[in-house]
């Protein structure tokens, strides 16, 4: 992780999905009743790892395109660690909530 903004995005993304009730698989974001929505939609209450990163970046910068640019940098920095065996979306959907939080924690401790 290279910037304070990226670190703050990761901290905030982790907070968004720390409670398993606010985490999901197979989609970037959804509502409480499971309806898929855009990761920046105000009705979103659950996010996957990448969706949470995008949303946390969006909450900081307010621009979806810039949020995705920052979010992709953050996700690449996590994926580069390779300690979890692959890319972040794949890990989210196959290894689960605990693995996602562990990846976030590992990236934060390395920052």
For the stretch 29-64, pLDDT in tens is: 999 999 999 999 999 999 999 999 999 999 999 999
Mean pLDDT of 60-80: 91
Q: What is the pLDDT of residue 110?
A: 81
Q: What is the pLDDT of residue 87?
A: 82
Measure the CA–CA gap between 47 and 110, rounded to whole angstroms: 24
CA torsion sign, 5 to 10 to 26 to 28?
negative
| Candidate from 10-24, 25-39, 86-100 with smallest mean pLDDT | 86-100
Report whether 7 contacts 108 (CB < 8 A): yes
Confidence of residue 83 (pLDDT cuts 50, 70, 90): very low
Measure the CA–CA gap between 76 and 19, rounded to whole angstroms: 24
Report whether 1 contacts 78 (CB < 8 A): no
What residue segments make up the domains of the chain, in order of their start?
4-110
Q: At what angle do helices 49-61 and 97-110 cross, to 10 degrees?
A: 50
For the stretch 49-58, pLDDT in tens is: 999 999 999 9
């Amino acid at each position: 992780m290279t910037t304070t903004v990226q670190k703050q995005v990761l901290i905030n993304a982790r907070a968004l999905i720390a409670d398993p009730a606010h985490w999901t698989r197979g989609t970037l974001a959804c509502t409480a009743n499971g309806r898929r929505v855009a990761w920046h939609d105000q009705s979103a209450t659950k996010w996957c790892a990448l969706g949470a990163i995008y949303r946390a970046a969006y909450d900081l910068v307010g621009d979806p395109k810039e949020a995705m640019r920052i979010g992709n940098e953050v996700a690449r920095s996590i994926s580069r660690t390779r300690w979890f065996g692959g890319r972040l979306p794949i890990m989210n959907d196959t290894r689960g909530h605990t693995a996602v939080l562990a990846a976030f924690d590992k990236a934060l401790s390395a920052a």
